[in-house]
Each structure stands twice: as C-alpha cells, then as structure tokens.
Amino acid sequence: MAETFKHLAQGQVVHTGNAAAQELYEAPSGTTAIIGHIRLANTNAAARTVQLYQNGVAATNVILPTLSIEGGGWAEFTGSIILDAGDKLYGISNSESTSVTYNIYGLEVT
C-alpha cells in the first residue's frame, strides 16, 4: 500500500449563477484520498461566499456551510475528509467572477 501526500487540486470556484456546483476533486480509481487541508482565497476587494459539499450538493452533503470570506481574505479547513475511489468534493460561490480560489492538500492511498 503506497501513501502519497500531495497537492491534490487547485483552481477557481464557479459562480452560482453560471453553473451548478463545481467538482473540485475526485478520488482516483483504486485510491482512497484523505483531504487534510483546504485553503480558500478571495482575490476580489468585496466579500464572497463559498460552500463545500461531499458526494452531491443536497443539504445533507454540506461539509462547509456558507462561509463569507472578506475581500482579499482567506479561510482554511484543517481536518480529515475521507473520499473513496470515485467520491467527489464540490464547491460553489456567490462570486460575480472567479475570485475565490482553492488549493486542496491531502494523502492518496493506493
């Protein structure tokens, strides 16, 4: 069994008016992923909100409820989110642009 700590994903969270929740990361086939750290940064001057979900976007899938990030600010999640092969992490923002960025760090076990 191999364990690899790595930068799992990065990008920009989509605007709720432009699309449904965006897939931020999917655990690869034959892999269990343990997300240990997520950093969200607001690159805009105005406050933005973001939500995170696991395996769907229903209320029961929320892992980070609506969080407001001040302009130029950032927020971090540190903990453990276990994703089995094919499980997904989703995000959505109220931003009028792609001004909320994300970086996800964790462990992939194969």
For 17-28, the pLDDT digits (tens) are 655 688 999 999
Relative to beta strand 62-69, strand 74-83 is unpaired
For 5-62, the pLDDT digits (tens) are 999 999 999 776 655 688 999 999 999 999 999 999 999 999 999 999 999 988 899 9
pTM (2 decimals)?
0.91
Relative to beta strand 32-42, strand 74-83 is antiparallel
